[in-house]
Amino acid sequence: MESVNPETGDVIATYDGHDGAAVESALSDAAERFESWAARPIQERCRLLERTADLLRERTDEYAELMTREMGKPVDQARAEVEKCAWVCDYYAERAPEQLADETIGTEADARTLVSYEPLGPVLAVMPWNFPLWQVFRFAAPNLAAGNVGLLKHASNVPGCALAIEEVLHDAGVPEGAFTTLLIGSDRVDDVIADDRVRAVTLTGSEPAGRAVAETAGRELKKTVLELGGSDPFVVLDDAPIAETAEKAAYARTQNNGQSCIAAKRFIVHTDAYDEFVGAFAAELDALTVGDPTDEDTDVGPQAREDLMRELHDQVERTVEAGATLSVGGEPLDRDGPYYPPTLLTDVPVDSPAATEETFGPVAAVFEVADEAEALALANDTSFGLGASVWTDDPDRGERFVRRFDAGCCFVNEYVKSDPRVPFGGVKNSGYGRELSRHGIREFVNRKTIWVQHGFGDDGDGAGTDRGDGS
């Protein structure tokens, strides 16, 4: 398994993949470790997350540079990603005991009834390359706190990041077997899911990958959480402050080199603000620095792979052929590496690729609408439903608007983002289930009902106060 620098094409390192015997050993170790890990007091597990957060901060530069080398993320954004991973560890170290505490439910006067949140066992995480640390830690932190053990199948182009995650957790004191990286190809994932020792699966990735994982897991009756693609609308109402909104729009579209499921992709603009916004947006995109991702001044680095850049450019070309106007960018840069510039498409037909497909790179499609009703209809006219944002000078108006979005994460005057304190996930073809917050930590637990009866009741026949047939 090779790690290749997307900017230079140079092989950074070569790793031996895990054969069948190694995978079997990892599964066996995970199943064996689960018993002792789950039995540890949650406070002990959380202290190891605190230590992990400390080590992540100590190693920020090291891990940021590793991400930048393996997938081309601008190094300042990579540092921010490491810091965010430390944050999610700290968050669950502090909050998990409260979030997983027994929940008492009132039923009968002579009974104590409660819900206990208990771990399931080994959980497989299938993760992508675009946020190679963050997307793993937002799975690992809550699940390790909950008492589950983790098995990571990371994207094949970031094996160094996968092993670094395992390393920092083990260095923090998380025992062997509680979190294990599997260096395997996607063709072997089904066999791991089907293994009886794996109790649940989470995937962040493409819609086809999500469907494949859900099909296998469903056949095996295993819980899944899927965070898939997005074509997030960025709605600009007529009263939005244009300069500030355009600046936010440029970052929302180009962060992580535009390779983000929650990046704003469809910019839906009220006609009264359209001309001014397009002009300001074009200027913001044109001013971004495209270059070496290790350079502190770089805003947009290379795409993660050459084939991904070709797919993106093909979407742009087909959209222009369908009638769109190319206002900024639109051609691969004449330099080594898969560099694609920030690109702005206007007059975009609603049935063109940039309107109906997920563009996974720094390409913005702009649409003009006459009023709020048309803006909402266009925003919701997609098979995806991950994130959405609206921009207005009136927050109350914005809140009324976002309540009608058909999406999982809806923001007013802020670009879509994941935050440990609030649930993250989508609807429709963007997946199901939630990560982060107390909602996320409760996805892979047994919500166990416990009923403790004090006394046997007056009739002595064991019927108690059951109603109906006892079901």
CATH number of residue 58's parent domain: 3.40.605.10
- CB 170, CB 176: distance < 8 Å: yes
Residue 172 has a pLDDT of: 98
Q: Does 333 share its domain with 237?
A: yes
Is residue 317, in this structure, part of any structural domain at all? yes
Q: Does 294 share its domain with 348?
A: yes
Q: Does 207 share its domain with 80?
A: yes
Is residue 468, in this structure, part of any structural domain at all? no
Phi-psi region of 319 (alpha: psi -120 to 50; beta: other; left: phi over 0): alpha
Q: Does 22 share its domain with 114?
A: yes
State both tokens at 107: 């039923």
Q: Does 210 share its domain with 307?
A: no
Is residue 126, in this structure, part of any structural domain at all? yes
Residue 320 has a pLDDT of: 98
Residue 460 has a pLDDT of: 45
- Phi and psi torsions of 28, nearest 5°: -65, -45
414 is annotated as an active-site residue: no
Residue 456 has a pLDDT of: 80
Is residue 423, in this structure, part of any structural domain at all? no
Tens digits of residue pLDDT in 53-92: 999 999 999 999 999 999 999 999 999 999 999 999 999 9
Residue 211 has a pLDDT of: 97
50 is annotated as an active-site residue: no
Q: Does 107 share its domain with 9?
A: yes
Q: Does 237 share its domain with 218?
A: no
Intervals of the chain under pLDDT 50: 460-464, 468
Q: Does 181 share its domain with 253?
A: no
218 burial level (CB within 10 Å; 0-12, 13-18, 19+): exposed
Residue linked to tokens 């009741």:
457
Residue 455 has a pLDDT of: 86
Task: Kindly name the residue from 7, 70, 81, 227 that is annotated as catalytic.
Answer: 227
Q: Does 264 share its domain with 360?
A: yes
Residue 458 has a pLDDT of: 54
Q: What is the CATH number of the domain that holds 318?
A: 3.40.309.10
User: Total structural domains in the chain?
Assistant: 2
Q: Where in the sequence is the domain holding 163, given as residue range(s)?
A: 2-227+436-449
Q: Does 248 share its domain with 209?
A: no
Is residue 421, in this structure, part of any structural domain at all? no
Q: Does 166 share its domain with 269?
A: no
Q: Does 170 share its domain with 256?
A: no
Task: Kindly name the residue from 85, 261, 409, 410 that is annotated as catalytic.
Answer: 261
Specify the pTM. 0.95
